[in-house]
Structure 1
Amino acid sequence: MRYYGKKAQLFEEVRNLSPKLEHLRLLVVGPVGAGKSTLINSIGSIFQGRLYQGALADTACDTSFTQKLQTQKIRDGDSEKFLPFVISDIMGLEGSASAAGVRVDDIIMVLQGHVRDGYRFIHSEPIKTDDGSYRPKPTLNKKVHCVVFIFPADKTAMMEHDEDGIIAKMREVRKGAAELKIPQVVVMTMVDKACPEVRRNLKMIYRSKKIEEKMQECSNKLGVPMNYVYPVKNYHEEIELRDDVDVLLLSALKPILAFANDHMQELESSPNLSRPNF
């Protein structure tokens, strides 16, 4: 693949990142329908040079389509090499009145690296420490190095009223991540649905007052600084890649990986940590 301009620069910076670990681990967290799986596929599409579907997504489901902890490795083009990061996807957050959705305490377990890939989340039951899916002594490369909160820009009602407690749950996850000193960012999806001007011309995204307001709402409600809120558009209706979509996604991914790498290095320098097995 040969890209040009800003896209090429970002593309090479991301793919040439060399963490000391086998890979950096990102965890995407967000409400049902926010576009977690679609974000993973959109990032994979850039590096495959075509539309890619590694994480299954469902646009017609009002409960979480993802039921298990699923970690996606992304191949570097047609080579046998994988990129220096993985993205873990989990069951979506649902309201406090719902009998479904991922439990906050389960997410904290995932952050700590205790949950094995493929674990099927059960809302009514926490992860058991005597279960085969529980990893008692996670190595450094099994821990999460950055939490990526996914929030859809078009769901303003949920942000304003939060009647079902989803934002409260996200803040609980934030608190747990903060106690573990894990960096956190927000990727704001569906910007094209939130602003007609941006839908017509994605390059107007940082000039749009509407998108700026949405970013500020994310910052206010979740407590994440404004400069850690990244507006993006996922691939959900296109049949070919677009440079403007890719540049936004890569512009978000680059600092996210930098934060993850910083955290990994901090963990590596800390005493009493189990070492990675390669």
Structure 2
Amino acid sequence: MQRRLRSLFISQPRPPQNLTEEWRKIPWGNKDRDLLFVSGYQPHNDELNQQRILLYGPTGSGKSSFINSVDSVLQGRVTVRAAADAISQESFTKKFRTYKIQKGGPGTFYPFAFTDIMGIEKDTNKGARVEDIKLAMSGHIKDGYNFNPVSKISEDDHKYNKIPTLNDHVHVLVCVVSATTSNILSAESVAKMREVRLAARDMGIPQLAILTKIDEACPEVNADIKNVYRSKYLKKRMEELNVALGIPLNCIFPVKNYHFEIDTDDDIDTLILSALRQIIYSGEDFVNNL
């Protein structure tokens, strides 16, 4: 089983790929529709101030960059609030931190927030512990907690939340995986991610996945991002992720994060908004079903 999982995620050379007909429709040139939806969204549950969206995944997959990219789309300018790193082989994120996104004037925020955590690593005493991620999903970890790869948070820790409210709970779990460095997904990492997924299932938390760095993974997408849903290479990567973790294909969204651009781009925004819209839908359904 482990050998089969490893074989799924060994990096392969990325020669030009033949394109096929578009296998998922997306409204290119109509990002205003999704922007209008996001701007007008309000939770129907009066007890909920904002959806909490927890990102998890291997080190270097682009979790922090995705938060920055969503912020960039909604601000209309490229932002870098969540610290990201392109050099370190270990998780650059060390603390449990939630990012609210400003809407309009100071002190006004969108009714959803992203929680960033330390990346998952294959070694036993490295990266975020699965036990901590489970506690985070049930609202027991406060912002600012410094992850300890060796041991989970103690109930005596001042960052342990003994009585979580609905707003402290995670309402959507999002797995973030890079399309380029997917060899990071060793059998050990996949096993940890699968354990997180099963725990979220038991809590009833909806789950989606984001496939990042699609421009680096596929030359045709690098040439024109509108080729994303015509790329056989990316479709294969999504199918591999579906097999390894069990996340349905219609819950996996390929995106390009902002990383070298200094201005936003409508086509990049369209993919990010498409994923964000489904994340919000999922969280809203979960909260309404409680």
TM-score by structure 1 length? Answer: 0.91
Deviation per CA, 1:19-51, whole angstroms, max 9, x where unpaired?
Answer: 031100100001110000000000000111111
Task: Report the AA paired with residue 46 of structure 1.
Answer: V
| Whole-angstrom CA distance in 2 between matches of 1:60 and 1:157 | 17
Give the conservation status (yes or no) of the 8 Å contact 1:48–1:78: no
Question: How many aligned positions are there?
Answer: 260
Task: Report the AA paired with residue 139 of structure 1.
Answer: T
| Whole-angstrom CA distance in 1 between matches of 2:194 and 2:215 | 26
Partner of 2:41: 17
Counterparts of residues 58-207 of structure 1 (less than 5 Å): 58-78=85-105, 80-97=107-124, 99-159=125-185, 162-163=186-187, 165-207=188-230
Deviation at 1:155, TM superposition (A): 2.4
Deviation per CA, 1:172-213, whole angstroms, max 9, x where unpaired?
Answer: 100110110101111000111111000100001001111110
Give the conservation status (yes or no) of the 8 Å contact 1:203–1:244: yes
What secondary structure sits across from 2:55 in the alignment?
A: strand
RMSD: 1.4
Task: Report the AA paired with residue 68 of structure 2.
Answer: N
1:219 aligns with 2:242: yes
Going from structure 1 to structure 2, the CA distance change for 1:200 and 1:213 (only over 3 Å counts) comes to: same
Going from structure 1 to structure 2, the CA distance change for 1:110 and 1:81 (only over 3 Å counts) comes to: same
Identical aligned pairs, as a percentage?
42
Greater mean deviation of Cα atoms: 197-206 or 72-81: 72-81
Give the conservation status (yes or no) of the 8 Å contact 2:51–2:171: yes
Task: Report the AA paired with residue 37 of structure 2.
Answer: E
Partner of 1:38: 65
Deviation at 1:77, TM superposition (A): 4.5
TM-score by structure 2 length? Answer: 0.87
Deviation at 1:158, TM superposition (A): 3.9
Going from structure 1 to structure 2, the CA distance change for 1:156 and 1:89 (only over 3 Å counts) comes to: closer
Give the conservation status (yes or no) of the 8 Å contact 1:187–1:231: yes
Partner of 1:229: 252
Task: Report the AA paired with residue 158 of structure 2.
Answer: G
What secondary structure sits across from 1:109 in the alignment?
A: helix
- RCO comparison, higher one (Cα < 8 Å, 6+): 2
In the alignment, structure 1 segments of 5+ residues that lack a partner are 268-278
Give the conservation status (yes or no) of the 8 Å contact 2:241–2:247: yes
Task: Report the AA paired with residue 65 of structure 1.
Answer: F
What secondary structure sits across from 1:141 in the alignment?
A: coil
| Whole-angstrom CA distance in 2 between matches of 1:149 and 1:214 | 14
Give the conservation status (yes or no) of the 8 Å contact 2:58–2:184: no
In the alignment, structure 2 segments of 5+ residues that lack a partner are 1-27
Going from structure 1 to structure 2, the CA distance change for 1:233 and 1:8 (only over 3 Å counts) comes to: same
Going from structure 1 to structure 2, the CA distance change for 1:195 and 1:77 (only over 3 Å counts) comes to: farther
| Whole-angstrom CA distance in 1 between matches of 2:86 and 2:115 | 19
What secondary structure sits across from 2:131 in the alignment?
A: helix
What secondary structure sits across from 2:174 in the alignment?
A: strand
Decide which of 240, 246, 250 is 2:263's aligned counterpart.
240
What secondary structure sits across from 2:101 in the alignment?
A: strand
